[in-house]
Structure 1
């Protein structure tokens, strides 16, 4: 099996939870280098990786094929550009960059050097989203007319992460953080909208970055998609509400991979490593081909973030499609940027 050598730009929460465990368990990858500026926390689980004190030092000295840029979003442009200019393929954490112009420059740079650039949109591999994708593709709901996708939390106290909480920093706040997932899922399911209207602010106060947003996407086919997030939501909502002219589907947010990984779970290669649900997490209510009303409790199948890295490996070895390539995710950045403009101006923004 061809071995692909990888360097991680950081070993914080993202490196420990979302990247290193999957790279270690996948037989086609080898973690060759990890950047840790002041500690050596990675040594215990990844003793074969060389620790570097900076991204610059790693790029100059490490034998790597791919660089994972998993640092704060404000540094994504700088480090991704640096890695591409060093001749390395790049996986960059979401959100891609802080704005569209940075994203476009990186896409063009990668293309000019014949390198790949993929954005780590791991929520495409959540069990709940995959179930929504499945139900829509089956056509039981008919023509989709209204959709709501939510990602809520109950975190009324600010975190200690300056890059997420400081409103003066471009790219801070929930819209870039959680919104990048919701926007990505909307565009994956329904394509690029025509217009949008947004309301974005901070429930915790103006001294903190936005922690609430509602973005309404307008589509040609009389479809409206509403994306919402709040940090003052103690009681869960249905995360997905899909309404068509033949029925409705409600889906809870039940993917637990992040929690399991944070608690120390080890993902497995080649098979599902999350347990199956013991109860339903969705409701499908529709009229069948005989115009009879059906109401079914549904259960989603396990999600698996390993599939992202499997697709990366298959792209490298077999030339298969690259997951969430940079020039595809640029459109998500356009929506995020337009949403901020809409909220600031209090008007509908035409995306054409």
Structure 2
């Protein structure tokens, strides 16, 4: 009863450690094959075996051929029941290795957001569709999608019975709980960012790269400052990346450099969210964004682009949260009272608990394992282990 996780880097596997823990509680012997970096020890603590392979994100990197043969050797030695692969390079190489090894392992792939998407280029979309379709038809026993758009597209590219809808990796609703942050901690953050006593904090969190669309956030800042007439609103961008210098120049050019605080990379994002009044997420390409999940868990109303993943989480919540033009929805929330915004946020948290909490998501993946191989550890063993419960979900 062995499970082998395959991914590119250990920091990607790190996000999925609750699934490894859940699999161990259900009775699996768990192994991880990836490129080891600074998170090596943390991943190793959640697995029975950690296997370093020189897998690279760039699919054309020649080292991936070395990784492929190393992975075939690992699979033939371990003879896992399930080979669960993640990310484009890890997903393709892992499934190809499991196929070539011919040990009978079930080949599972989680698409954390297909690289073809509604806003993608025609050529790149066509290429990624071909690759995903080929791998889904010839190298997979199950393909797990984490949003409705990917689910529908996957069924067009491969046998529909192999495609499963899940709610992703899951978010720790126990960790991201506003009750775990003290009023003093919340106030310290607001003081750090210079939020007046009667002011508002509007934040966004993510890597500073082009697809995150932070120029639109700066446009929101200009609009809110110009229309609302309020002088007590602070705007914070949390994160670092290659686009930071460009955004700093843009902020100065647009005249909002003094209103926007670039906080850089932070490890206290939970506390920052607890101090936030409105969360804005302008990204144009996501699978199922963790930042939005965490904001909703912290009872913060969210304004986001109407893209896959965000639509799944926000559609149906009782406030206008999805709009290509994010200025008016943000202004609408600015005009609400504090109590009204908190009431909206509580509905978002309840949605996270019911559909996106880690116990629910772990149970979904284990249920798929059980369907693939009925002789493998059952979902009931995971539930009995006290890690939470799940349910059969329908998209």
Bucket of the pairwise TM-score, normalised by the shorter protein: 0.3 to 0.5
- Could you tell me the TM-score, scaled by structure 2's length? 0.38
- Could you tell me the TM-score, scaled by structure 1's length? 0.42
- Structure 1 or 2: more strand by fraction: 1
